[in-house]
Structure 1
Amino acid sequence: MAMVEDRMQFTKEPYIEDVGPRKIKSVNFSMFSGDEMRNAAHCQVWSANLYNANQKPIENGLLDSRLGPANMSSTCATCHGDYTSCPGHFGYLNLVLPVYNVGYFPSIINILKSICKSCARILLPEKDRRDFLKKMRNPKMEVLQKNGLAKQVIKKCKLTCCRCGYVNGTVKKASSMLGIIHDRSKIVEGDGTWKECSAAISHVKESMASFHVVHVLNPIRVLTLFKKMLDEDCELLYLSDRPEKLIITDIPVPPMAVRPSVLVNGGQSNENDVTSKLKTIIQVNATVRQDLQCTGPKLLCLKDWDLLQTEVAQYINSDIRGNPQNQPPSRPLQGFVQRIQGKQGRFRGNLSGKRVEFTGRTVISPDPNLKITEVAIPILMAQILTYPERVSNHNIEKLRQCVRNGPEKYPGANYIGDPSGTMINLRFASKKRAADELKYGHIVDRHLEDGDIVLFNRQPSLHRMSIMSHRARIMPWRTLRFNESVCNPYNADFDGDEMNMHVPQTEEARTEALTLMGVQNNLCTPKNGEILVASTQDFLTSSFLITRKDTFYDRAAFSLMCSYMGDGMEPIDLPTPALIKPIELWTGKQLFSVLVRPYAHMKVYLNLTTKEKNYCKPEETMCQNDGYVYFRNSELICGQLGKVTLGNGNKDGLFSILLRDYNAHAAASCMNRLAKLSARWIGNHGFSIGIDDVQPGHTLNTEKDEKIYSVYKACDDIIEEYNQNKLNLLPGCDSAKTLEARVLKALNDLRDATAKVCMKELHWRNSPLIMSQCGSKGSPMNISQMIACVGQQNVNGQRAPNGFIDRSLPHFPKKSKIPAARGFVANSFYSGLTATEFFFHTMGGREGLVDTAVWLILLSFIPFPYVQFLYHFSSFTFFFFL
């Protein structure tokens, strides 16, 4: 019985499953108060001297060893670390008089506008205060809505305090850079005392109007007001913390790692800008302390206080103007804001874009024989870029051979590292001996080899697919090569573009790159789910020509082309021929059926219907242009394949359906097969464009001239009606706008009509026509401009404006409104433009360049979000840490 009771007494508690990791509910950014700065600091700094006579840092100076080692020869007195291992420690500098935080200067003024300058309560009636507070405490309200509500609170604030009756004036910035004025002159003017004072000094020449009742709100007065504010009033103004933290009473002195001191010959030291500015602040602070202790003139103390305010402001932001009597230094010292913002700042210069090792950059070239997941790396680059591979039982023989080859011979190695951290440079060591002494656990920096994971990037990096991971393929020559199907996400072409390559140095980085950034896993854009890695240009042209209805191949030719798309490792089953007698013939459409499903055991059954650009009739009766594409169980029944089916930007295309119904590997394999087939087919078949392709025939010239003559005559009639005030006005337009609208419509219709005639007259083998129909390049408008008529040139959506007095060019009479005088180009690029037509065409083409330049200028002014946040100086710690 006792044993049972004993067991009952010591029974284990039931297992309670852990709820899991804690979640962050919210993140709140606020400023450091003086107490918090002092608690975080390791020492107080008050001496402006740096070194003593023995070249040792002075205690309680700016280079105090408790803040970290000042240079390579010293050690940290706090953590006893050296120059490389010590992260640095903070100190603090106590100010004799408080100063404004220049980053929060607008916020300080807004708070002062909203509170009473006597009792520091919000200048709202009690009912309005409660209503606003209730809205502000609504948990469903977003941050932007709360910011808007805080602005409404500031606007609603009255001048008279409803609690103490004090009449407040307007709060505004002083004419000097860092000062706040409380102007009550307009309120005092309406008082009876004002009239008595005015009568008493009426004999004085100076008028009463020039006399203002103005109070300067110094930081001490503002700090007192902010300390008296209630928490509810702070909540009304949507302040994340107490407002007195906006006034600086203590300055944290950043660690030595942020502002290293460089010793030069002769015992001198070259100090950082931050150290120099802190030294100036300490000297001015000492002057202010001396002014307060002595019974000197108050004006001198105020001047020194203003100087202290300016120096602290320039310590944060060096763009703040100083006192005019102070001579500017020969080189402006860099403040913390300048360290962060701009192209050379921490974000754009050191975080978003940084100089790193294991990086290559050279010109890019196309190679359709590569997979879309591969990138060809020159041997010369592969011998410089290395990967640290740890020696194990599986790779020791391979790495020994790499070590024997050394840095000069590929595949080789450049360095060997042992577990103790010693590095051996194989350029100067005995390679054979190093290979024999190689052991498990050593790390060999070997050359890049086939299959290594590399990151590939083209600038500007505008979206996440501008940097993706590929597998390396080491090849001769001097350029980086990749499959043209991957040009779209990089926005790359091969007219001299250069691209960057980065080599991840750990197994974790390689795995993450392959999983998160692999091309095969980023075929779709996250913007709208459309396929982005897809066939382009020559691939589309050859696919369009292969799938024509009159394209047939015998067994030898069809088998040869089936071998084009494979790599020798994948079996290919020939389908049943389309024609059996008198000879077995296969169609080009069957070639694409094999491309989608090479062998019978592949479980890829593609079903899709889509309409190409040349589609013209309902699908019930098919399409005479063969523009209706129909795949049934991976067999192409009908349709000529073009950009709609094989290109990017279509959610119902071939690769999109493969990706949706199967997986990324099926879509990527189909792209690889199509790239190889298309490149080899078009190389054997030939496809080029010459001057004969854009030479208009007699029929085309005749029809073009007739249409231009008829439209010119119609425009002359419209102009005549305008001159006689008989023009029927369009809704919302006067006669001049109506004239422009009708003439512009007639001329645009003329260009469209000539484009249709041009497309109808061209032979089906015409190269520009083929490229336009399949979507690889160009449009009917481009073909029309080359062969028939360039058309109306627009500037800002209108006809060419008057550059001279009442006329566009001196070649035309004044107030001429005929098409030729306002930017219509009747010639084609084949026939050649006249001088005036060339000038108008240049005006129209220049507009796109100007728009691009304007957008680039606007983008350069958009602040980086973190820069915008840190500009307001939310915490000294962020600045010093960065």
Structure 2
Amino acid sequence: MSTDKDVTGIRQLLEKKAGILRQKMMGKRVNFACRSVISPDPYLAVNEIGIPPHFALRLTYPERVTSMNIDKLRQCILNGIDSHPGATHFKDGVRLYGLKVPRHVRATYSRKLPTSRGNHGLLGKDPESEFEGKVVYRHLENGDSVFANRQPTLHKISMLGFRCHILQGEKTLRMHYSNCSSFNADFDGDEMNVHLPQDEVSRSEVVNIVNANRQYVVPASGKPVRGLIQDHIVSAVLLTKKDTFLTREEYHQLLYYCTVPLNSSAFKPGKKIGAIYKECSIRPLFPAILKPIPLWSGKQVITAILNHITSGCQPFTVKKAGKITKEYLEKQGKSFNSGKKDQRIKTEEFGHNEFEMLIYKNEMLYGMIDKEQFGLYGLVHTVHELYGPDCAGSLLSTFSRLFTVFLQMHGFTCGVDDLIIIPSAEAGRKKVLDSCQRKSEKTHLYFVDANSDEI
């Protein structure tokens, strides 16, 4: 016996989540996409996204065979569908071959790649002619361009373009946390979608239009939307304050860690290390102190990075007030006996210029890098306006690695003792609460038009 719930009418076809409107028109299933939980990874570049191998083996890109990529695609065919980097299908212009076959059959397919006269393009021939059209559906690999989207897609920067980085052994999508404000995301279980473009025009749009580095400012106000926070700010202040000095080993180790190529596939043994894709290496600076041992200041690390990031361009100058106040620079509780009376170390002896940062012709002279340098008209914003979004993205990625490694070298902890209120603060808090209580009682008596004795 049928009920009203079993009847399928016009209303049942339209309404609810499984109806035509929401299921087929407002949203629909797509191919060449993956979805997973997002996790943070501060070692990735700000325009990179970490892809698990499970997705890399299933997302494919149809790459045309040319004389420049024939060796790579031949190896992809030999690897097959279960080994990365491999391929799932091969098309020779006539038919489509699946690669879930024994290795000797795949070897036969791979030998077909260089047989076409059109594998390097013939003038006057259409790309779909009999001499062209050889395509290998290869796996997703390092350096591929993808779209990343988090729903709800409320504004333009809810969908950004990233460069892939295949992370072995991972099960979730990995992303640098500086992109969280763009997506309005956090790492408490949020899920995101990744879409792989299927032609060169779409890939070009990802690189040149929706690239994450090119979405540094909010379209509505022009203010920066990306930056470093929390532990990285702590590390930046510890590194750039006036009394931080590094040995030769520490100085060069920091420079090495922060300027390794932002795309791991670009690194080859025996080649010079650089954060930018140029045939140049980072140049260390002369030490600030020579005797008794050579020492470099933390500011010299920033200077060397700025010289490297902006190499080939004119140096820049920027001055920006910091967010740190005087009481944080005073050495409280430490005194010395001058023979007459105890004197406390004054802030002026630490350096009165440390409250604002000055970089003159790429050289950091004084000040500290704090949260203000990642905000409006700060250091990264200045580099973005003067040198472009790609340079600013490289600087943000380099700073992220630098401050992560330095905090591991220096150490910074927060224990229960740091959370307990000291007696003087507890007395002040109790005083404020008592004052509020008296004012509340006075207001209550005034409202009911009564005296304290009558209540």
TM-score range, shorter chain: 0.7 to 0.9
Residue 263 (structure 2) aligns with: none
Q: 1:706 aligns with which of 427, 431, 438?
A: 431
The DSSP-based 3-state class of the residue aligned with 1:353 is: coil
Structure 2-normalised TM-score? 0.77
How far apart, CA to CA, are the structure 1 residues paired with 2:285 and 2:99? 57
Is the 8 Å Cα contact of residues 531 and 655 (structure 1) preserved in structure 2?
A: no
How far apart, CA to CA, are the structure 2 residues paired with 1:623 and 1:700? 28
Is the 8 Å Cα contact of residues 256 and 273 (structure 2) preserved in structure 1?
A: no
In the alignment, is residue 374 of structure 1 matched against residue 84 of structure 2?
no
Residue 569 (structure 1) aligns with: 273
> What is the CA distance between 1:373 and its match in structure 2?
2.1
How far apart, CA to CA, are the structure 2 residues paired with 1:616 and 1:719? 42
In the alignment, is residue 633 of structure 1 matched against residue 361 of structure 2?
yes
> What is the CA distance between 1:604 and its match in structure 2?
4.9
Q: 1:522 aligns with which of 204, 209, 215?
A: 215
Aligned counterparts, 1:139-218, within 5 A: none
How far apart, CA to CA, are the structure 2 residues paired with 1:712 and 1:330? 64
Name the aligned partner's letter for residue 7 of structure 2.
R
Name the aligned partner's letter for residue 403 of structure 1.
I
**Which deviations, in whole Å up to 9, do the C-alpha atoms of 1:412-431 show, x marking residues without a partner?**
111112313x2221114622
Q: Structure 2: any 5+ residue segments left out of the alignment? A: 117-132, 261-271, 275-280, 328-347
> What is the CA distance between 1:692 and its match in structure 2?
1.6
Q: 2:107 aligns with which of 419, 432, 435?
A: 432
In the alignment, is residue 350 of structure 1 matched against residue 14 of structure 2?
no
Aligned counterparts, 1:809-848, within 5 A: none
How far apart, CA to CA, are the structure 1 residues paired with 2:436 and 2:50? 56
> What is the CA distance between 1:573 and its match in structure 2?
2.4
How far apart, CA to CA, are the structure 2 residues paired with 1:512 and 1:333? 43
Residue 593 (structure 1) aligns with: 303
**Which deviations, in whole Å up to 9, do the C-alpha atoms of 1:559-579 show, x marking residues without a partner?**
222222111522222334333
**Which deviations, in whole Å up to 9, do the C-alpha atoms of 1:273-312 show, x marking residues without a partner?**
xxxxxxxxxxxxxxxxxxxxxxxxxxxxxxxxxxxxxxxx
How far apart, CA to CA, are the structure 2 residues paired with 1:437 and 1:553? 58
Distance 1:471 1:425, change over 3 A: same
Is the 8 Å Cα contact of residues 558 and 591 (structure 1) preserved in structure 2?
A: yes
Q: 2:156 aligns with which of 461, 464, 489?
A: 464
Is the 8 Å Cα contact of residues 604 and 634 (structure 1) preserved in structure 2?
A: no
**Which deviations, in whole Å up to 9, do the C-alpha atoms of 1:816-841 show, x marking residues without a partner?**
9xxxxxxxxxxxxxxxxxxxxxxxxx
Aligned counterparts, 1:27-66, within 5 A: none
Is the 8 Å Cα contact of residues 282 and 305 (structure 2) preserved in structure 1?
A: no
Residue 839 (structure 1) aligns with: none
Aligned counterparts, 1:605-616, within 5 A: 605-615=315-325
How far apart, CA to CA, are the structure 2 residues paired with 1:538 and 1:380? 32
> What is the CA distance between 1:667 and its match in structure 2?
0.6
Aligned counterparts, 1:126-525, within 5 A: 331=7, 333-334=9-10, 339=14, 343=17, 348-420=22-94, 422-428=95-101, 430-438=105-113, 439-440=115-116, 441-477=133-169, 478-525=171-218
Distance 1:529 1:437, change over 3 A: same
Residue 578 (structure 1) aligns with: 288
Is the 8 Å Cα contact of residues 484 and 536 (structure 1) preserved in structure 2?
A: no
The DSSP-based 3-state class of the residue aligned with 1:514 is: helix
Distance 1:433 1:582, change over 3 A: closer
Structure 1-normalised TM-score? 0.41
State the identity %: 31
The DSSP-based 3-state class of the residue aligned with 2:38 is: strand
Name the aligned partner's letter for residue 333 of structure 1.
G
Distance 1:604 1:461, change over 3 A: farther
The DSSP-based 3-state class of the residue aligned with 2:152 is: coil
Is the 8 Å Cα contact of residues 309 and 394 (structure 2) preserved in structure 1?
A: no
Distance 1:494 1:687, change over 3 A: farther
> What is the CA distance between 1:493 and its match in structure 2?
2.3
Q: Which has the higher helix share?
A: 1
The ranges of structure 1 where at least 4 consecutive aligned residues each deviate by more than 6 angstroms after the TM superposition are none
> What is the CA distance between 1:557 and its match in structure 2?
1.9
**Which deviations, in whole Å up to 9, do the C-alpha atoms of 1:204-256 show, x marking residues without a partner?**
xxxxxxxxxxxxxxxxxxxxxxxxxxxxxxxxxxxxxxxxxxxxxxxxxxxxx
Q: Which has the higher strand share?
A: 2
How far apart, CA to CA, are the structure 2 residues paired with 1:517 and 1:351? 25
Residue 539 (structure 1) aligns with: 232
Name the aligned partner's letter for residue 408 of structure 2.
G
Q: 2:373 aligns with which of 613, 636, 645?
A: 645
Is the 8 Å Cα contact of residues 51 and 167 (structure 2) preserved in structure 1?
A: yes
Name the aligned partner's letter for residue 219 of structure 2.
P
Residue 671 (structure 1) aligns with: 396
How far apart, CA to CA, are the structure 2 residues paired with 1:595 and 1:347? 53
Is the 8 Å Cα contact of residues 79 and 85 (structure 2) preserved in structure 1?
A: yes
Residue 5 (structure 1) aligns with: none
The DSSP-based 3-state class of the residue aligned with 1:446 is: strand
Question: Using CA pairs below 8 Å that are at least 6 residues apart, which structure has the higher relative contact order?
Answer: 2
Distance 1:344 1:531, change over 3 A: farther
In the alignment, is residue 684 of structure 1 matched against residue 412 of structure 2?
no
Residue 340 (structure 2) aligns with: none
**Which deviations, in whole Å up to 9, do the C-alpha atoms of 1:751-784 show, x marking residues without a partner?**
xxxxxxxxxxxxxxxxxxxxxxxxxxxxxxxxxx
How far apart, CA to CA, are the structure 2 residues paired with 1:687 and 1:348? 50
How far apart, CA to CA, are the structure 2 residues paired with 1:329 and 1:366? 45
**Which deviations, in whole Å up to 9, do the C-alpha atoms of 1:829-873 show, x marking residues without a partner?**
xxxxxxxxxxxxxxxxxxxxxxxxxxxxxxxxxxxxxxxxxxxxx
Name the aligned partner's letter for residue 320 of structure 2.
T
**Which deviations, in whole Å up to 9, do the C-alpha atoms of 1:339-362 show, x marking residues without a partner?**
5x8755666533553211111112
Residue 658 (structure 1) aligns with: 383
**Which deviations, in whole Å up to 9, do the C-alpha atoms of 1:144-191 show, x marking residues without a partner?**
xxxxxxxxxxxxxxxxxxxxxxxxxxxxxxxxxxxxxxxxxxxxxxxx
The DSSP-based 3-state class of the residue aligned with 2:320 is: strand
Is the 8 Å Cα contact of residues 535 and 675 (structure 1) preserved in structure 2?
A: yes
Greater gyration radius:
1
**Which deviations, in whole Å up to 9, do the C-alpha atoms of 1:520-562 show, x marking residues without a partner?**
2222221111122322332222112212232222333222222
Is the 8 Å Cα contact of residues 615 and 623 (structure 1) preserved in structure 2?
A: no
Residue 843 (structure 1) aligns with: none
In the alignment, is residue 559 of structure 1 matched against residue 252 of structure 2?
yes
Distance 1:572 1:393, change over 3 A: closer
> What is the CA distance between 1:671 and its match in structure 2?
0.9
Name the aligned partner's letter for residue 443 of structure 1.
V
How far apart, CA to CA, are the structure 1 residues paired with 2:255 and 2:87? 41
> What is the CA distance between 1:482 and its match in structure 2?
2.4
**Which deviations, in whole Å up to 9, do the C-alpha atoms of 1:398-441 show, x marking residues without a partner?**
22221111111221111112313x22211146222222233543
The DSSP-based 3-state class of the residue aligned with 2:209 is: helix
Q: Structure 1: any 5+ residue segments left out of the alignment? A: 1-327, 727-814, 817-882
> What is the CA distance between 1:660 and its match in structure 2?
1.0
Residue 93 (structure 1) aligns with: none
How far apart, CA to CA, are the structure 1 residues paired with 2:45 and 2:112? 39
**Which deviations, in whole Å up to 9, do the C-alpha atoms of 1:799-832 show, x marking residues without a partner?**
xxxxxxxxxxxxxxxx99xxxxxxxxxxxxxxxx
How far apart, CA to CA, are the structure 1 residues paired with 2:134 and 2:310? 49
